[in-house]
Amino acid sequence: MTHTVTSRPPTLFDNVIAETPGKALNLHACLQCGTCAGSCPSGPDMDHSPRAIFAMLDAGMDDEVLNSNTPWFCVSCYYCMVRCPQEIPITDIMYTLKRLAIKEGYYQEDKAPEFSETFCDFVEHNGRSFELGIAMRYHLRYHPLGAFKMAAGMGLHLFRKGRMDLTPSRIKNVSQLKSILNKAKELGGAA
């Protein structure tokens, strides 16, 4: 029997593979063994385990996958990745799912994309980040109560210990960095 490849529009499954560097093609060979799910420290907070997400991707449940909180609760611990018998780059796939969810306009109510966006804005303009300052800005912009909690709590401790910057540092050649990032954005599309 010969298989003919019929042309069909790319599915989310295809897009995930195309957008993930590394051996993402291995996703086709997922055994549904659950090793990733059993290794995941964020499992209890996720609405679907990594294994379940891959089954859903395969079943074409695109909306459910992109709406899921799973990638946003991934802490990038890479346990799943070193244990997966099929060497699927699971952590990198989680990053891809975040990007695709943002691109498709899902998951807008969540805090995690906001935090990442505040971070990126900042880095694009200065070339450097200053984690605590960024955390503060992010809270001020989206969750003022969080900013208050942070300022009154550990923020103060860190400030007293000289560990919290109020003014960020800036690289010399910001314009070079901007040209590079602008070109990269133009080439990269949204994902």
Partner 1 sequence: MKYSYYPGCSLEKNARSYHVSTMAIAKSLGIEFVEVEDWNCCGATEYISIEKVPAYALVTRNLALAAEQNGSTNLVAPCSACYLNLKKADHYLGENVDLRQKIDLALEAGGLSYQPGSLNVQHLLEIIAVDIGYEEIEAQVKRPLFNLRVAPYYGCLVPRPAAMGSFDDPEHPTSLDNILKRLGATVIDFPLKAQCCGGHMTQISEETALELLRRLLKNAADYKADMIATLCPMCQLNLDAYQDAVNAHFGTDYKIPIVYFTQLMGLAFGLPADELGFGSEIVSARPALEKITLEEPKPARTRERGKKKTDLPLPTRPEEG
What is the distance between the alpha carbons of residues 103 and 119, in angstroms, rounded to a whole number? Answer: 17
Distance from C-alpha of 90 to C-alpha of 93, rounded to nearest angstrom: 5
From candidates 60, 87, 108, 141, binder to partner 1 by CB under 8 A = 87
Q: How far is the C-alpha of 135 from the C-alpha of 150, rounded, in Å? A: 9
* CB of 114 closer than 8 Å to CB of 138: yes
Residue 31 binds which of ligand SF4, partner 1, none (CB < 5-8 A, kind-dependent) = ligand SF4
Q: Is 77 in the site for ligand SF4 (CB under 6 A)?
A: yes
Scanning 3-11, 29-37, 50-58, 152-160 for contacts with partner 1 by CB under 8 A, the matching segment is 152-160
Is residue 26 a contact residue for partner 1 (CB under 8 A)? no
The SS3 of residue 169 is: coil
Please measure the distance between the N-terminal and C-terminal CA atoms of the chain and give it in whole angstroms: 38
The reply to whether 69 sits near ligand SF4 by the rule CB under 6 A is no
Separation CA 120–CA 60 (nearest Å): 31
| 89 is an interface residue for partner 1 by CB under 8 A | yes
CA quadruple 163, 166, 172, 176: dihedral positive or negative? positive
Of 21, 13, 37, nearest to 92 by C-alpha is 21
Q: Give me the residues that bind ligand SF4 (CB under 6 A), please.
A: 30-36, 39-42, 50-51, 54, 74-80, 84-86, 88, 90-91, 94
Q: Give me the residues that bind partner 1 (CB under 8 A), please.
A: 19, 21-23, 41-42, 45, 72-73, 75-79, 81-82, 87, 89, 91, 95-96, 98-99, 102, 111-113, 115-117, 119-120, 123, 127-132, 135, 138, 153-154, 157-158, 161-165, 169, 171-173, 176-177, 179-185, 187-191
